[in-house]
């Protein structure tokens, strides 16, 4: 419990003790004379209990009224409780406020628990960085370290900034980011990201970007903004409360005046006993106000979504807002990028077929031309050339998006890329059916051979796709710029329903558009990519999900949901969480409205009383909040 919650608990206990004393005095020394000494003693004791527990609610109501915000739960509670005391129901007036504050405390504890579940996941903000300057290491704020500087991370310390290891080796605990406890081995030359914990060896890291652009800063910003994007049920409840509250206030006024006025006129305006006292129309109206308080809905619906976001964070699933969680629960079409999503994205050269030159010469030319590319395929060719200790230089490199690269290598013009690039340059190249990605090469306008690059399927891909179909009958589609033969092999192994190969970047967006138009009515389309070159497709989908935020600068910015652990099996988990959260929200809405309407009707016809109204309001709120917290506990 926080200090504020402990203070509230003390106030509740104090008010409860005073109220109990008043209740005992009222029954030991009863009186029907409200304006007698004993009557004033009763009033004084219950008023003391009321002010101890309710002064802040009174202040909030007055402050909101002064700002033009009249109709809210504070106003309802004040009118109902003060009204009960005015008509002589002192004990019930005090009980209304005490039980309401118990409900508020319960809500505060539940929200705090949900916030802590997210805070634990993102407890990654580094307090300091050990920066090396002029041969000395000093402790400074991470914000004061510039890109290019060297920092030292000792065993047990949290990595404060993103960068590349220049000396040392260790194992990193990435659980705060990925939700997984497995350690990640790193050594010289490896990239590390902020937020991970260095478990053993000493590391020296060259900072690659300032703190404001670091992984930690972006994740913290994402979490802080996650409550701003509200789901449709949240927006509905907000609008509903604004309309509903004034309606029930005027309905209560009508209930207090009209039936009593009719009955009194029938008695010739000689008997006014039907207005006040327990069972009277004013009493019924006040009870009506108590049970009509919409706090069960206003509290439990946002809390359910907040709990769902917190529950997802435990599994390394970062969700930018309740609206995306809600959209995911309606997903029926899942569109996947291939490389880095369904496959590992760790390419390796598995075949070299030269024409008119030695194998190593072809590899060296391709590696030199690809030097300026960061694409995983290019990096695999460069890695193979380094392994064979081949050294070739290139200049005037020009990347041709969706095709390949053109460069001058040792004075010769080399064109390296896919089959479409060869066709575009009017170079005759063979059609290769070998599974894997084929990179063709031409030198000075003459075909020089091809290299085959293979990528492994992620072990969890088939299982994840099968789980999606079981969860929501999902249609799965794969989009790739790779050859049809490679795409077909991946589709058969993973169980993809449909695939489209040899797509240019804008072709992926066009296919997403087509699939979006063809999706089932009232359903959502999800695009899952690596977040590096899929931003347009991620943005076009109802929900964009980025894989591999551990290695992607663009993932957190481009996607609505980020799977921090690069594990595609987290996708069905995210869908399960979204569906359970949606179910909890619907349960709370139906339950709260149903019970409240029933008790409001019973109260209006005189069957219910204020005690039933109080327990109906607070009880419904407590049960709804308890139900909402289930969203945090999803296996």
Average model confidence (pLDDT) across the chain: 82
Write down the pLDDT at residue 231. Answer: 67
Burial class of residue 253, CB neighbours in 10 A (0-12, 13-18, 19+): middle
Three-state DSSP class for residue 247: helix
- Are the beta carbons of 30 and 112 closer than 8 angstroms? no
Q: Does 25 score more than 70 pLDDT?
A: yes
Measured between alpha carbons, how far apart are the two ends of the chain, in Å? 26
Q: Does 608 score more than 80 pLDDT?
A: no
Total residues belonging to the chain = 635
Mean pLDDT in residue range 604-627: 77
What is the sign, positive or negative, of the torsion defined by CA atoms of 360, 363, 365, 367?
negative
Q: 466 versus 344: which is more confidently predicted?
A: 466
d(CA 399, CA 362): 19
d(CA 336, CA 377): 19
Our CA dihedral for 14, 16, 17, 21, rounded to 10 degrees, sits at 140
d(CA 160, CA 170): 16
d(CA 170, CA 203): 7
The residues pairing with 351 across neighbouring beta strands, listed in sequence order, are: 452
d(CA 558, CA 535): 5
Q: Could you give all domains of the chain from N- to C-terminal order, each with its CATH number?
A: 1-121 (no CATH), 129-224 (2.70.150.10), 318-343+457-571 (3.40.50.1000), 348-454 (3.40.1110.10)
| Among the ranges given (152-161, 182-191, 603-612), the one the predictor scored with the smallest mean pLDDT | 603-612
| Among the ranges given (158-167, 183-192, 323-332, 624-633), the one the predictor scored with the smallest mean pLDDT | 624-633
Write down the pLDDT at residue 426. Answer: 92
Percent above pLDDT 70 for the chain:
88
Angle, CA of 604, 609 and 613, to the nearest 5°:
85
What is the sign, positive or negative, of the torsion defined by CA atoms of 152, 154, 158, 159?
positive
108-128 confidence digits (pLDDT tens): 776 666 666 555 555 566 788
Distant-in-sequence, close-in-space partners of 150: CB < 8 Å, separation ≥ 6? 131, 132, 166, 204, 205, 206, 207
546 pLDDT band, cuts 50/70/90, is confident
Active-site residue, from 337, 530, 560, 566 = 337
Q: Does 436 score more than 50 pLDDT?
A: yes
Three-state DSSP class for residue 435: coil
Write down the pLDDT at residue 547. Answer: 80
d(CA 607, CA 278): 11
Please state at what angle helix 281-292 crosses helix 232-266, rounded to 10 degrees: 180
579 pLDDT band, cuts 50/70/90, is very high
Three-state DSSP class for residue 397: strand
Write down the pLDDT at residue 360. Answer: 93
265-323 confidence digits (pLDDT tens): 776 655 555 566 556 777 788 777 777 777 777 777 877 888 888 788 778 788 888 88
Our CA dihedral for 8, 9, 11, 14, rounded to 10 degrees, sits at 180
For residue 339, the 8-state DSSP code is I
- Are the beta carbons of 431 and 437 closer than 8 angstroms? no
d(CA 528, CA 568): 9
Mean pLDDT in residue range 79-95: 77
Distant-in-sequence, close-in-space partners of 103: CB < 8 Å, separation ≥ 6? 295, 617, 618, 621, 622
d(CA 27, CA 25): 5
Distant-in-sequence, close-in-space partners of 551: CB < 8 Å, separation ≥ 6? 191, 566
What is the sign, positive or negative, of the torsion defined by CA atoms of 381, 385, 386, 388?
positive
SS3 content of the chain, % helix, strand, coil (to 5): 55, 20, 30
Q: Does 98 score more than 60 pLDDT?
A: yes
Q: Does 88 score more than 80 pLDDT?
A: no
- What is the chain's Cα-based Rg? 33
Q: Does 144 score more than 50 pLDDT?
A: yes
Q: Does 153 score more than 70 pLDDT?
A: yes
The residues pairing with 286 across neighbouring beta strands, listed in sequence order, are: none
551 pLDDT band, cuts 50/70/90, is very low
337 is catalytic: yes
Of all helices (H) and strands (E), which one includes residue 543? strand 543-547
């Amino acid at each position: 419990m926080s200090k504020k919650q402990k203070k509230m608990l003390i106030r509740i206990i104090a008010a409860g003790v005073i109220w109990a004393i008043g209740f005992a005095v009222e029954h030991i020394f009863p009186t029907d004379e409200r304006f007698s000494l004993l009557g004033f003693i009763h009033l004084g004791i219950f008023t003391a209990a009321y002010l101890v527990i309710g002064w802040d609610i009174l202040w909030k109501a007055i402050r909101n009224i002064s700002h033009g915000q009249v109709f809210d739960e504070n106003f309802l509670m004040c009118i109902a409780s003060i009204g009960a005391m005015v008509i002589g129901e002192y004990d019930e007036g005090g009980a209304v406020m005490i039980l309401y504050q118990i409900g508020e405390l319960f809500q505060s504890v539940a929200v705090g628990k949900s916030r802590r579940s997210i805070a634990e996941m993102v407890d990654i903000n580094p307090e300091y960085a050990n920066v090396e300057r002029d041969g000395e290491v000093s402790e400074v704020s991470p914000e004061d370290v510039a890109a290019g500087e060297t920092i030292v991370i000792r065993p047990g310390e949290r990595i404060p900034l993103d960068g590349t290891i220049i000396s040392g080796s260790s194992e990193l605990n990435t659980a705060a980011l990925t939700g997984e406890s497995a350690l990640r081995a790193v050594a010289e030359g490896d990239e590390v990201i902020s937020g991970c914990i260095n478990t053993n060896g000493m590391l020296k890291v060259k900072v690659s970007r300032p703190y404001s652009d670091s992984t930690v800063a972006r994740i913290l910003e994402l979490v802080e903004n996650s409550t701003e994007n509200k789901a449709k049920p949240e927006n509905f409840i907000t609008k509903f409360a604004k309309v509903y509250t004034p309606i029930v206030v005027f309905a209560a006024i009508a209930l207090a005046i009209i039936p009593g006025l009719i009955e009194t006129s029938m008695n010739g305006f000689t008997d006014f006993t039907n207005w006040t006292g327990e069972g009277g129309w004013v009493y019924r109206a006040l009870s009506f106000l108590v049970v009509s308080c919409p706090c069960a809905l206003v509290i439990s619906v946002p809390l359910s979504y907040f709990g769902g976001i917190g529950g997802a964070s435990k599994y390394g699933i970062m969700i930018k807002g309740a609206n995306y969680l809600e959209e995911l629960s309606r997903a029926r079409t899942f569109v996947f990028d291939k490389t880095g999503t369904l496959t590992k994205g760790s390419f390796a050269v598995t075949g070299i077929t030269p024409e008119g030159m030695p194998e190593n010469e072809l590899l060296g030319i391709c590696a030199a031309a690809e030097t300026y590319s960061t694409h995983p395929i290019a990096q695999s060719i460069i890695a193979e050339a380094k392994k064979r200790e081949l050294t070739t230089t290139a200049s005037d490199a020009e990347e041709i998006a969706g095709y390949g690269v053109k460069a001058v290598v040792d004075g010769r013009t080399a064109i390296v890329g896919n089959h479409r690039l060869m066709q575009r340059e009017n170079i005759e190249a063979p059609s290769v059916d070998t599974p894997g990605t084929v990179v063709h090469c031409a030198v000075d306008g003459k075909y020089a051979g091809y290299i085959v690059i293979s990528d492994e399927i992620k072990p969890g891909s088939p299982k994840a796709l099968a789980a999606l179909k079981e969860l929501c009958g999902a249609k799965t589609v794969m989009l790739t710029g790779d050859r049809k033969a490679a795409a077909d092999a991946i589709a058969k192994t993973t169980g993809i329903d449909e695939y489209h190969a040899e797509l240019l970047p804008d072709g992926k967006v066009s296919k997403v558009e087509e699939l979006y138009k063809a999706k089932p009515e009232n359903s959502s389309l999800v695009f899952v990519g690596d977040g590096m070159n899929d931003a347009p497709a991620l943005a076009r989908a109802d929900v964009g999900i980025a894989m591999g935020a551990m290695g992607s600068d663009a993932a957190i910015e481009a996607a609505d949901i980020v799977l921090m652990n690069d594990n595609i099996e987290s996708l069905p988990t995210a869908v399960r969480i979204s569906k359970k959260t949606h179910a909890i929200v619907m349960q709370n809405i139906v339950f709260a409205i149903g019970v409240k309407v029933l008790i409001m009707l019973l109260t209006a016809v005189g069957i219910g009383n204020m005690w039933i109204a109080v327990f109906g309001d607070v009880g419904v709120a407590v049960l709804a909040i308890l139900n909402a917290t289930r969203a945090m506990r999803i296996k």
